[in-house]
Amino acid sequence: MPAFKRVIWIVLDSVGVGAMPDADAYGDVGSDTLGNIARKRGLKLPNLCRLGLGNLKPIPQLEKADNPGGAFGRCTLASPGKDTTTGHWEMVGIHLEKPFPLFPNGFPPEIMKPFEDRIGRSTLGNKAASGTEIIAELGELHMETGSPIIYTSADSVFQIAAHEETIPLWELYRMCEIARELLTGPYEVGRVIARPFEGDPGSFKRTSNRHDYAVPPPAGMLLDKLADSGVPVYSVGKIFDVFLGHGIGDHVKTKNNTEGMAKTLNAMHEAPEGLIYVNLVDFDQQYGHRNDVEGYGAALEEFDAWLPTLEAALGPDDLVVLTADHGCDPTTPSTDHSREYTPLIAFGPKSRQGVDLGTRATLSDMGQTIAENFGTSIVKGTSFLQQLL
């Protein structure tokens, strides 16, 4: 029998807790997503602090708990890079030898020409841009010409935006499949993303029909191991897309953090055992990349206020693990992800309290802990399960 019958693993997307030693190689010296928001805006996170968040390091207004209600520490990103796929893959035991490629100046002709040839259309954009800004800039021209909007970001992505009445969803998805086939070797981005939108010029709005086409994860990672062992995995948010559904049974998509938190509680009603793997994306997508300090801080406080509801829903044999996949400091000039440590807080009715888990060598330590709990193992990471018992 597992020590914990069910694990609820929640990724607070981009909530980093300070620059890693190699941050200078990524242009991220001084990045500290949580700390800098606290310094610039102020934060009230009493529930996270009660569990041990303020014990990670001195952060203004985030008090150190005398008797933390959880185990606490921080994780080092061992793989090169600082993107969504790298962070999530490392959690489940996949370490990259080189980062996924970035295209800050757009994609080269050797990609764009065959892409346009195969889709039978010219394209617009082909630059790094905010998704909402580029559809505002090029959406009307797109509707006039029928040319899809191609853009990338600070992440390793090839994104295709199209109005749903100009290019139907089935065709947009087929374009993404073609791009995924072409983007190999040195051009193998972490994700190709369909970004459909609707509305009229001046009031375009992205729809909920986004679809991600990720690089298939290598075999042997945590979710596959759990599936092989008969342990159910339920994902909430973009987890399913990041892993192309590998090892995942039931899953639900989400539009925002509020829906993600609600669907996490629903998942707990539907999945009494196994792993519930959650990503709350707003911190990164809505606020980090837009340098919205106020919005980011408010989202953190909203999550903190929800925590007692989560705790009240826990069963006696549940374990919650809170973490992040990278940073995205909204207080710096950059709108890119940042090379930061990620928080680690683990708690549950029967989990030991006040345990200092220290600075872990890799995000895979969390995956290895979950693997050990369910009677299996992954190649990377050192379990801290026994420290929780």
Domains located in the chain, CATH noted: 6-99+217-388 (3.40.720.10), 109-214 (3.30.70.1250)
Q: Specify the residue for token string 């914990």.
A: 4
pLDDT bucket at 154, cuts 50 / 70 / 90: confident
Task: Give the other-Cβ count within 10 Å of 226's Cβ.
Answer: 27
- What residue spans of 105-168 are helical by DSSP H? 109-119, 131-145
State residue 130's pLDDT score.
85
Tell which residue, 223, 284, 283, 278, has the closest CA to residue 254: 278
Distance CA 101, CA 267 (A): 35
Residues 6+ apart with CB under 8 A from 353: 67, 68, 69, 70, 71, 347
Tell me: the pLDDT tens digits for 309-333? 999 999 999 999 999 999 999 999 9
Q: Specify the residue for token string 């159910």.
A: 232
Q: Specify the residue for token string 């994306």.
A: 281
Phi, psi of 142 (to 5 degrees): -60, -45
Sequence-ordered strand ranges (E) for the chain: 6-12, 71-75, 124-128, 149-152, 157-163, 191-198, 205-206, 211-214, 233-236, 251-252, 274-280, 318-323, 342-347, 356-360
pLDDT bucket at 73, cuts 50 / 70 / 90: very high
With 0-12 / 13-18 / 19 or more C-beta atoms within 10 angstroms meaning exposed / middle / buried, residue 75 is: buried
pLDDT bucket at 26, cuts 50 / 70 / 90: very high
Does pLDDT of 280 surpass 90?
Answer: yes
State residue 382's pLDDT score.
98
Tell me: the pLDDT tens digits for 239-259? 999 999 999 999 999 989 999
Averaged over 112-134, what is the pLDDT? 95
CA dihedral 208, 212, 274, 355 (to 10 degrees): -100
pLDDT bucket at 219, cuts 50 / 70 / 90: confident
Answer whether 360's CB lies under 8 Å from 32's CB: no
Tell me: the pLDDT tens digits for 176-190? 999 999 999 999 999
State residue 287's pLDDT score.
95
Tell which residue, 281, 215, 276, 211, has the closest CA to residue 243: 215
Averaged over 28-38, what is the pLDDT? 97
**DSSP-assigned letter for residue 141:** H
Distance CA 140, CA 146 (A): 10
Answer whether 65's CB lies under 8 Å from 72's CB: no
Strand ranges of the sheet holding 318-323, from the earlier edge strand across to the other edge? 251-252, 233-236, 274-280, 6-12, 318-323, 342-347, 71-75, 356-360
Distance CA 314, CA 101 (A): 40
Concatenating the DSSP letter of every residue in 207-224 gives -S--EEEEPPPPTT-HHH
Tell me: the pLDDT tens digits for 75-121? 999 999 999 999 999 999 999 998 899 999 999 999 999 999 999 99
Percent of the chain with pLDDT over 90: 92
Answer whether 300's CB lies under 8 Å from 15's CB: yes
State residue 336's pLDDT score.
87
